[in-house]
Amino acid sequence: MSSSQERLPRLLALVPYLIARPGIRIDEAAADFGVTARQLRKDLELLWMCGLPGYGPGDLIDLSFEGDTITVTFDAGMSRPLRLTGAEATALLVALRTLLDAPGVADADAVRRAVAKIEAAAGQAQPAGVAVALGVREGARTARSRQVVQAALTAGRALRMTYYTASRDQVAERTVDPMRMLIVEGRSYLEAWCRRAEAVRLFRLDRIDEVTELDEPAVPPPYAERTDTTAGLFRERPDHEVAQLVLEPDARWVSEYYPVERLTELDGGRLRIRMRYADQSWMVRLLLGLGGDVTVEEPAVLAESLRERARRALARAGQLTVAP
Amino acid sequence: MSVARAERLVNLVLCLLSTRQYLPAERIRAIVAGYTDAPTDEAFYRMFERDKNELRDLGIPLEFGRTRAVDAEDGYRIARRDYELGDIDLEPDEAAAVALAVRLWDSPELTGAAAGALLKLRAAGVDVDQGVPAVVEPKVRTTEPAFAPLLAAVQAGRAVRFDYRRPSPAELRTRTLEPWGVVSWRGRWYVVGHDRDRDAPRCFRLSRIVGEVTAFGPTGVVARPPEVDLLEFVSASTGEPPDTTTARLWVARQRAAGLRRRARVVGERTLDDVPGDVIELDLFHPDSAASWIAGYGEDAVVLEPEVLRKSVQERLLAAVGGVEARR
């Protein structure tokens, strides 16, 4: 939405907002509306020129400025905000209900009360057309990990944990300084400063095997930045390998599950993709599992390593009938 | 929007809110500041038409009618009870939930709408502090290009047409759908509606829609049947059968950590002169389990059940043959 399209809703909301907060500081109001103090002053100047037909001194919206604060002295009949539109009610109420379904996110009782109050105030603007369920599947072990992690976040303590790194298929001990928890695409993550990697890492809660709160404060360095999740969680790095693959129809899910570049649609519903990977052993594991539903076109070393590993696996499985 | 236009629109809203009479267009032209600038009748009506649309787009309930049957002309007014947001007062914990809900969306359409709702709640006197960090932040993204046109079609109650690729059996076909809603289920977006070609309710994954989504036909003709629960429909359509089996595997010592962390070690065994453990593993989805186990190559060998051993073997054979056959 462009800034000009946002202006009218803001102008209509501004007078009731100020009525509810007599003497509010202009910069504080600007922050609530997400605009600069300069823009807010322009809005106020514009509103000052508006009013009821006649447009005499008693008809115009009247504001009193005192230092950096502002008070509405005449509202020209605009005392309440405009009701919610269907789209606004949908975005807000669906989001609130989604929180109910996410483990440990918000106080469920508070969410239910907020939903009831907003529904009552919104009147006929009922949510429609959008439904969301995070559907986080959480086993008993993950639920326990989540409780420990949440307690540590609240108390501001570091954690020691046994964590499974899928890319390397390794379980290792790590000490981390928790920063926050996230739920992205139906999965729960802990974002933390990893002291071993000396970097911010996202840890999947279902890959934490054991976790203990330490008796020392969480101290992520000041330069530890939160991960921007708007573009997904996978970060391309220059040292990543790139594979070119052809997916049979049964393996097309790979192109939906992992971030890939779709190159060409081929006959028979096959798809040629380019996919980045940090670790060859991980990639071989994925491809072995796909069996005949994927063809490795590049790089040759990956195709060779895949074939070799499959051959050795078959040979070993063949020993079953020989060995006791 | 020019300053003059913004000012005129605010004046129009104030005027129509304050009147109980329906005001004919000519009357509005005469009394609302900003319209007197219109040089001709035509210019005025063009201007007024645009302004009415702008107000309707914002959700302002503009009424059209006449105050008394004897009035010569129809006119306009805004009913205050329909315009105003009802009274609302949130406790701090409720306001905190709202703040978190507004941050849920990573989506241009829904982020904007949620911000609009927040603006109005604040204008109603509710204090919502967005600066408080949450312990857990759920995020719902809408990256599929089909999302915006489908949501718009659902909200307008219009039918849509799109090309849809079904992966298996492979098929690319044009679908005609009366969309009831868009649904995010476990991080994936679906559209649910009445499939006109099959004459049955269906759900489609947005990531499998190819190209443009075209809305067609009149608005307001499509509505979700009241008995349909969108979420239930999607979760029932995408659910996997809960079919648990226990498998026994040989895994090489110190290897296959991903399997081991889900398993119980029940014995030791040497296979192919390699020391290892016998483990037991509870499997929920036999098919994906075969892929998972095959991925470990020679580090994991299925002992039983036979059907799992065979499906792992099939994958390995295909990986050997498949790569060679296509070179």
- A225-256 pLDDT per residue, tens: 888 776 667 777 777 889 999 998 888 888 88
Instruction: Tell me the chain B residues in contact with residue A295 when contact means C-beta distances shorter than 8 Å.
Output: 322-323, 326
Nearest CA in chain A to B158: A129
Query: How confident is the model over A44-65, as a mean pLDDT?
Result: 91
Question: What pLDDT score does B69 carry?
Answer: 81
Is B97 in CB contact (< 8 Å) with chain A?
Answer: yes
Looking at the partner chain, which of B10, B85, B303 has a beta carbon nearest the beta carbon of A80? Answer: B85
Distance from CA of B70 to the nearest CA of A (A): 25
Question: What pLDDT score does A194 carry?
Answer: 94
Query: How confident is the model over B263-286, as a mean pLDDT?
Result: 89
Instruction: Give B265: exposed, middle or buried? Use CB within 10 Å, 0-12, 13-18, 19+.
Output: exposed
Is B101 in CB contact (< 8 Å) with chain A?
Answer: yes
Q: Is the pLDDT of residue B325 over 60?
A: no
Question: What pLDDT score does B108 carry?
Answer: 83
Instruction: Tell me the chain B residues in contact with residue A46 when contact means C-beta distances shorter than 8 Å.
Output: 3, 6-7, 10
CB-based contact A135 B181, cutoff 8 Å: no
Please state which architecture CATH assigns to domain A241-316.
Answer: 2-Layer Sandwich (3.30)
Q: Is the pLDDT of residue A174 over 90?
A: yes
Task: Tell me: do B155 and B136 sit in the same domain.
Answer: no
Instruction: Give A263: exposed, middle or buried? Use CB within 10 Å, 0-12, 13-18, 19+.
Output: middle
Query: How confident is the model over B12-19, as a mean pLDDT?
Result: 94
- B152-211 pLDDT per residue, tens: 999 889 999 999 987 666 788 999 999 999 998 877 889 999 999 999 999 999 988 988
Per-residue pLDDT band for A142 (boundaries 50, 70, 90) equals: confident
Q: CA A158, CA A178: separation in Å to the nearest integer?
A: 6
Domain boundary among B35, B56, B83: B83
Question: Which one is predicted more confidently, B288 or B248?
Answer: B248
CB-based contact B102 A21, cutoff 8 Å: no
CB-based contact A181 B90, cutoff 8 Å: no
Instruction: Tell me the chain B residues in contact with residue A184 when contact means C-beta distances shorter than 8 Å.
Output: 138-139, 141, 187
- Using alpha carbons, select from A279, A277, A268 the residue that is nearest to residue A246: A268
CB-based contact A129 B181, cutoff 8 Å: yes
Nearest CA in chain A to B288: A289
Is B287 in CB contact (< 8 Å) with chain A?
Answer: no
Does domain A140-217 fall under CATH 2.30.30.530? My reply is yes
Q: CA A196, CA A176: separation in Å to the nearest integer?
A: 8
Q: CA B249, CA B263: separation in Å to the nearest integer?
A: 10
Q: Which runs of E-coded beta strand occur in chain A?
A: 24-25, 62-66, 69-74, 130-133, 157-165, 170-184, 187-194, 199-204, 208-217, 241-247, 260-265, 271-277, 294-298
Place of tokens 């009913």: B79
* Domain encompassing residue B231: 147-238
The segment with the largest mean pLDDT, out of A43-47, B226-230, B286-290, is: A43-47
Q: Is the pLDDT of residue B216 over 80?
A: yes
Looking at the partner chain, which of B87, B116, B272 has a beta carbon nearest the beta carbon of A9? Answer: B116
Question: What pLDDT score does B244 carry?
Answer: 72
pTM beyond 0.95 = no
Q: Is the pLDDT of residue B286 over 70?
A: no
Looking at the partner chain, which of B1, B33, B298 has a beta carbon nearest the beta carbon of A55? Answer: B33
Instruction: Tell me the chain A residues in contact with residue B134 when contact means C-beta distances shorter than 8 Å.
Output: 105-106, 180
Question: What pLDDT score does B73 carry?
Answer: 86
Number of domains in chain B: 4
Average pLDDT, chain B: 88
Per-residue pLDDT band for B246 (boundaries 50, 70, 90) equals: confident
Per-residue pLDDT band for B304 (boundaries 50, 70, 90) equals: confident
Nearest CA in chain A to B141: A230
Q: Is the pLDDT of residue B38 over 70?
A: yes
Instruction: Tell me the chain A residues in contact with residue B106 when contact means C-beta distances shorter than 8 Å.
Output: 229-230
Task: Tell me: do B158 and B223 sit in the same domain.
Answer: yes
Distance from CA of A282 to the nearest CA of B (A): 9
ipTM over 0.85: no
Task: Tell me: do B56 and B134 sit in the same domain.
Answer: no
Is B58 in CB contact (< 8 Å) with chain A?
Answer: yes
- B90-132 pLDDT per residue, tens: 999 999 999 989 988 888 888 889 999 999 999 999 988 877 6
- A11-36 pLDDT per residue, tens: 999 999 999 999 999 999 999 998 99
Q: Which residues touch A175 (CB under 8 Å, ≥6 apart)?
A: A158, A159, A160, A161, A195, A196, A214
Looking at the partner chain, which of B58, B125, B316 has a beta carbon nearest the beta carbon of A288? Answer: B316
- A256-267 pLDDT per residue, tens: 888 888 888 888
Is B116 in CB contact (< 8 Å) with chain A?
Answer: yes
Which residue ranges make up each domain of chain A? 3-74, 86-122, 140-217, 241-316
Q: CA B308, CA B298: separation in Å to the nearest integer?
A: 16
Task: Tell me: do B220 and B291 sit in the same domain.
Answer: no
In B, residues 128-187, which contact A (CB 8 Å cutoff)?
Answer: 133-141, 143, 151, 154-155, 165, 167-172, 180-187
Counting one residue from chain A and one from chain B, the pairs whose CB atoms sit within 8 A come to 410
Instruction: Tell me the chain A residues in contact with residue B133 when contact means C-beta distances shorter than 8 Å.
Output: 180
Taking residue B286's Cβ as centre, other Cβ atoms within 10 Å add up to 16
Instruction: Tell me the chain A residues in contact with residue B313 when contact means C-beta distances shorter than 8 Å.
Output: 314, 317
Interface test with B, best of A288, A307, A308, A320 (most B CBs within 10 A): A288
Is B13 in CB contact (< 8 Å) with chain A?
Answer: yes
Instruction: Tell me the chain B residues in contact with residue A77 when contact means C-beta distances shorter than 8 Å.
Output: 14, 17-18
Place of tokens 């002169």: B273
Question: What pLDDT score does A19 carry?
Answer: 94
Q: CA B267, CA B261: separation in Å to the nearest integer?
A: 16
Cα torsion B25, B28, B30, B35 to 10°: value is -90
Instruction: Tell me the chain B residues in contact with residue A10 when contact means C-beta distances shorter than 8 Å.
Output: 119
Domain boundary among B185, B216, B238: B238
Distance from CA of A263 to the nearest CA of B (A): 14
Percent of chain B with pLDDT over 70: 93
Task: Tell me: do B223 and B167 sit in the same domain.
Answer: yes
What CATH number labels A3-74?
1.10.10
Instruction: Tell me the chain A residues in contact with residue B100 when contact means C-beta distances shorter than 8 Å.
Output: 99, 105-106
Task: Tell me: do B156 and B232 sit in the same domain.
Answer: yes
Distance from CA of A238 to the nearest CA of B (A): 24
Q: Are strands B136-141 and B105-106 parallel, antiparallel or unpaired?
A: parallel
Domain boundary among B59, B83, B107: B83
Question: What pLDDT score does B326 carry?
Answer: 38
Among A62-66, A92-96, A226-230, B100-104, the least confident range:
A226-230
